Structure 1
């Protein structure tokens, strides 16, 4: 699969149906709630800085907003924080511009309607907008943003690791011995791609943020004391299901070997190192959450497990393998019955950053 195609198709399942992202994002909702105190603290700091907000305007962006009820959560938290802080200190709130970003194929229909309603219900929100495009590219003018938020997005890579698809190395080899021998190569390729992408993300946002601008982001990762001895949970789970489909003749091995889930779960240590090496931001706070309870609640039955997989990955699965979702669903349900919930990540990382 061409890397450009992967970028174009990398979006959550659209619509409002049973397998849509809008109906299968409770885990993401829990993480957004954990980001609330970080966003509130940042807003208080921004509103207290006259140099940052002159002449009384604030531009807030959510990058990778996706669709459904979570799409407006972070910007809504920020708007409420602006109102509360300005009321407490008895100062007029700034004019607020809210912008949402995701890839062009994202389902923006319901998002736009909700965004308009948010603006109409808040007199201080004077501009709202949608910016389609990859956050691994420039999206906004220099020095125009005050706060960038991103939740559950930055573990998605811009494309599959170049070293793997250029050298025709499968991400998950069906032969156990070959998989064990290539294990380190695969992990290093994914880590290298994440480092490249996350570094690029930081550089671009540093250009777009005002002086002393802020970012609050969260992503799926792992604690630094957990060694990366296995693939991404999502990649491994999808690959295990697909490998059964290969053995049953539903999909061919060559097509399977050329499929890469563009996801990497970095350790908190890796993230700290990349931020420090890139140099545009200082870390104000980094939190590491254990999402086990959220995962267990969200994936407690075969149907919930399968619906989440479809919400996250159906577009790229269909693009690469064709119409195989009926077989994928039945295989995934068997996988859950035999293995239980194996999708849970090691940790969720939430980070508050200040432009240096």
Structure 2
């Protein structure tokens, strides 16, 4: 059948937008989103880029390549300036964690262990009685600005972007996919491949039910310190604090059971109180606002997943970024053209099985 597009991407958040950027030079793309991004998980994301996460500060999957992919993707949209590469400081919560941090610093040159006196001397604003791990390669990205700039760049490249349109279903055949829209039941488009990168919208697609996807509500709070926190790195420990001189974004909650997607100011104040254990000066900061969004994770899996949906050849999904979106979305998207040509080349760590 004649095709309107080579690829329709449902979802214009990080996964969908990065995919479109890396496919735009070789494919006719339609990027669709039911809202007006940034929304979904992006709406509440603070933009922290921490390649050494979790309690033991182990490196993220392919973390050096992920950082390179992030910077290259930002460069594609003339957004390199959005990466605030002032590092991520991780105060140890106890002596056991301090031991893990020391081990990480000993084996990774981009990390440095600071003893309690060294940490206090360099960062007196930060409470760190057990010392800190300084991750020099970390930073933060203004996600909303990146998404907006990326969409501008995509339009310049001839990519069609359709916002406020909800993909309601599809009809797959041996040579293509007819994509249907909820708000315009008589409107449909034909494409070679449909890529579902719809985040928490996965619940609208029965074909994704077998993948073990789970939505987690995350909340953040923006505060304005009484005095600017100049030259301070971003902080990750008991929660995190993304520092931008006159504004600090505090996060994040991980709510597996929730009744709505609206931010709860009470949760926001709890986040601020927890972060103030690391950064006491924000305890009395002025609260600017509260935000909430839904992340998607894959049960029993710490990485995103990519590939044809089980039982389908021309319907793919890219999902499960969780809290690693800025590291994983560009990394996976940069190789998406090759993966579409040869699905067997998708790394087994992220490949959909079955």
Structure whose residues are more often strand by fraction: 2
TM over 0.5: no
Structure whose residues are more often helix by fraction: 1
State the TM-score bracket (shorter-chain normalisation): under 0.3
Q: TM (normalized to structure 1)?
A: 0.27
